[in-house]
């Protein structure tokens, strides 16, 4: 229910209650005593009395009466009772034998004394009802404020803290029907953008360096060919004897050629050295990706793996022992990211994960295993080398730079841990993480 409807309903109920109360108060009145009616009753009774009709109670014109005779024993008691009940009392007079008026007793007109009580009860019910309704409305409004405003706000607060903590994977649940829905959505968009930007930055940084590294790597090959040809030419020309050549011009050309080839060779050397420098500089930069080690609860690993579980293929084979580990959550996340994406790319089978905590060695091992074709056993020691890519067909047909496991090893070593890759049913990676 919208707040506006609520307010309208609230007002309507309040006004209705108010009107009902007022109406009841005015509608309920204690019947006035009709003086002429009573007078006529009295006169009738007196007349009847004179005629000898001495009935002591009866009805006249919708009003019942009772006669208390002066001579009655309970005269006083009757009188007091009727006074108590606010009944109308009139004198009953008759004509005595001497023709004088004589006081006989009282006529008590019985009116309903409980009217006031009835009115009170009705009023009480009415007022209770009104107050009850008002209370229910207030509770409803408070409840609405709580669910529609306070709770979403609490969620938003928790979300903002997560963002501040740098946890950009935390999704904000959204409720469009809510006042906060749109607000929440923009917050979540902001988070999504931040996450993308951060990921993009990391990717751009890596790929820029990878490009430079790859290019320099590629340029080295033609330069090496140039150098080889130069050397070949030098050797070949050195064996040619100038005496065998026809004429002095040819001899001069030969000497010049040898000199020129030497220059080409020297320049090729320089290019080679420069490219080596460039290559090493970029590699170092790649290696220099900062690792900030902190003490983290081991449960972060589960979170990272779950984030990578886009196809529902990751299965935890045993429970992770809760403990504190040394790691850089960002880098460990990248390591896991690289390993799992490799598995998706090359094996595309289920991925089983085991955890093993060695308390004495203070080491937490994560074994990540897929059931794909694995790698060529000869290439096993090389998988963590930079730019190494397997010779298998799938690998050759899948784009990649050969840096994933290399970076994974760099990061693991920087965190004081280890990485080991081997074939067992499929490809298996064992990550060793230091426990605090």
CA distances, 130 to each of 20, 26, 133, 295 (Å): 9, 18, 5, 61
Q: Which of 15, 262, 321, 413 binds another protein (CB under 8 A)?
A: 321
CB of 324 to another protein, least distance (A): 5
Q: If you write DSSP's letter for every residue of 299-335 in order, what string do you get?
A: HHHHHHHHHH-SSS-EEE-SPPPP-EEEE-HHHHHHH
Q: Is 359 an interacting residue with respect to another protein (CB under 8 A)?
A: yes
CB of 202 to another protein, least distance (A): 20
Q: Is 299 an interacting residue with respect to another protein (CB under 8 A)?
A: yes
Tokens of 145: 């404020």
CB of 435 to another protein, least distance (A): 6
Q: Which is nearer to another protein, 124 or 294 (CB)?
A: 294
Tokens 């005595």 belong to residue: 96
Q: Is 398 an interacting residue with respect to another protein (CB under 8 A)?
A: no
Site for another protein in 275-294 (CB under 8 A): 294
Q: What angle do CA 427, 432, 436 make, to 5 degrees?
A: 160
Q: Is 164 an interacting residue with respect to another protein (CB under 8 A)?
A: yes
Rounded CA separation 243/61 (Å)? 168
Interface with another protein (CB under 8 A), residue total: 18
CB of 301 to another protein, least distance (A): 12
Q: Which helix (H) or strand (E) element contains residue 241?
A: none
Do residues 372 and 427 lie in contact, with contact meaning Cβ atoms separated by under 8 Å?
yes
Q: Is 436 an interacting residue with respect to another protein (CB under 8 A)?
A: yes
Q: Which of 98, 165, 243, 393 binds another protein (CB under 8 A)?
A: 165
Q: What is the DSSP letter of 234?
A: H
User: Which residues pair with residue 362 across a beta bridge?
Assistant: none
Q: How many helices (H) and strands (E) does the chain have?
A: 11, 11
Q: Which helix (H) or strand (E) element contains residue 428?
A: strand 426-434
Tokens 């209705």 belong to residue: 16
Q: What angle do CA 189, 192, 198 make, to 5 degrees?
A: 140
Q: Is 375 an interacting residue with respect to another protein (CB under 8 A)?
A: no
Q: What angle do CA 214, 220, 225 make, to 5 degrees?
A: 145
Q: Which of 206, 245, 271, 323 binds another protein (CB under 8 A)?
A: 323
Do residues 362 and 435 lie in contact, with contact meaning Cβ atoms separated by under 8 Å?
yes
Q: Which of 132, 143, 297, 381 binds another protein (CB under 8 A)?
A: 297
Q: Which is nearer to another protein, 108 or 332 (CB)?
A: 332
DSSP reduced 3-state for 74: coil
Q: Which helix (H) or strand (E) element contains residue 371?
A: none
Residues 6+ apart with CB under 8 A from 147: none
Q: Which is nearer to another protein, 3 or 321 (CB)?
A: 321
Q: Is 157 an interacting residue with respect to another protein (CB under 8 A)?
A: no
Q: Which is nearer to another protein, 134 or 323 (CB)?
A: 323
Nearest in space to 30 (alpha carbons), one of 120, 115, 87, 121: 115
Q: Which of 88, 298, 342, 343 binds another protein (CB under 8 A)?
A: 298
Q: Is 319 an interacting residue with respect to another protein (CB under 8 A)?
A: no
Part of the chain binding another protein (CB under 8 A), chosen from 26-34, 202-210, 240-248, 321-329: 321-329
Do residues 353 and 367 lie in contact, with contact meaning Cβ atoms separated by under 8 Å?
yes
CB of 343 to another protein, least distance (A): 28
Q: Which of 243, 259, 322, 393 binds another protein (CB under 8 A)?
A: 322
CB of 158 to another protein, least distance (A): 12
Site for another protein in 80-99 (CB under 8 A): none
Q: Is 261 an interacting residue with respect to another protein (CB under 8 A)?
A: no
Binding string, 22-41, against another protein, x = CB under 8 A?
--------------------
Q: Which is nearer to another protein, 347 or 364 (CB)?
A: 364
Site for another protein in 39-68 (CB under 8 A): none
Q: Is 324 an interacting residue with respect to another protein (CB under 8 A)?
A: yes
Q: Which of 251, 357, 380, 382 binds another protein (CB under 8 A)?
A: 357
Rounded CA separation 133/378 (Å)? 83
Q: Is 168 an interacting residue with respect to another protein (CB under 8 A)?
A: no
Tokens of 52: 């000898």
Part of the chain binding another protein (CB under 8 A), chosen from 170-178, 263-271, 296-304, 307-315: 296-304
Tokens 């209370």 belong to residue: 135
Q: Which residues are near another protein by CB under 8 A?
A: 161, 164-166, 294-295, 297-299, 321-324, 357, 359, 362, 435-436
């Amino acid at each position: 229910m919208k707040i506006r409807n609520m307010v309208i309903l609230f007002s309507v109920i309040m006004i209705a209650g108010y009107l009902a109360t007022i109406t009841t108060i005015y509608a309920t009145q204690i019947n006035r005593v009709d003086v002429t009616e009573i007078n006529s009753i009295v006169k009738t009774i007196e007349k009847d009395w004179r005629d000898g009709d001495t009935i002591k109670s009866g009805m006249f014109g919708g009003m019942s009466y009772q006669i208390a005779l002066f001579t009655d024993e309970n005269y006083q008691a009757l009188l007091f009772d009727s006074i108590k009940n606010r009944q109308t009392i009139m004198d009953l007079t008759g004509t005595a034998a001497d023709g004088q008026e004589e006081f006989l007793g009282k006529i008590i007109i019985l009116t309903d004394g409980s009217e006031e009580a009835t009115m009170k009860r009705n009023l009480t019910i009415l007022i209770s009802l009104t107050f009850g309704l008002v209370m229910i409305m207030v509770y409803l409004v408070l409840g609405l404020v709580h669910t529609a405003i306070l709770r979403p706000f609490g969620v938003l607060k928790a979300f903002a803290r997560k963002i501040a903590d740098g946890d950009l994977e935390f999704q904000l649940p959204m409720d469009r029907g809510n006042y906060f829905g749109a607000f929440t959505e923009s917050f979540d968009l902001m988070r999504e953008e931040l996450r993308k930007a951060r990921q993009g930055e990391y990717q751009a940084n890596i790929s820029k360096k990878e490009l430079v590294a790859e290019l320099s790597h590629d340029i080295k090959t033609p330069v090496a060919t140039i150098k080889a040809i130069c050397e070949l030419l030098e050797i070949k020309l050195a064996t040619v004897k100038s005496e065998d050549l026809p004429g002095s011009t040819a001899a001069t050309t030969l000497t010049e050629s040898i000199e020129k080839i030497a220059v080409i060779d020297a320049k090729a050397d320089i290019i080679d050295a420069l490219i080596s420098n460039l290559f090493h500089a970029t590699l170092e930069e790649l290696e220099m990706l900062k690792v900030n080690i902190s003490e983290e609860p081991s449960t972060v690993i589960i979170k990272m793996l779950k984030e990578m579980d886009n196809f529902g293929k990751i299965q935890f084979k045993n429970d992770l022992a809760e403990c504190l580990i040394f790691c850089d959550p960002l880098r460990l996340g990248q390591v896991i990211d690289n390993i799992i994406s490799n598995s998706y790319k090359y094996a595309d089978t289920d991925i089983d994960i085991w955890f093993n905590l060695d308390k004495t060695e203070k080491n937490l091992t994560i074994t990540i295993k897929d059931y794909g074709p694995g790698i060529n056993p000869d290439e096993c020691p090389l998988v963590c080398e930079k730019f190494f890519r397997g010779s298998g067909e799938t690998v050759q047909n899948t784009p990649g730079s050969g840096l994933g496991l290399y970076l994974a090893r760099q990061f693991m070593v920087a965190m004081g841990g280890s990485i080991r890759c081997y074939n067992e049913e499929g490809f298996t990676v064992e990550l060793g993480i230091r426990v605090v």
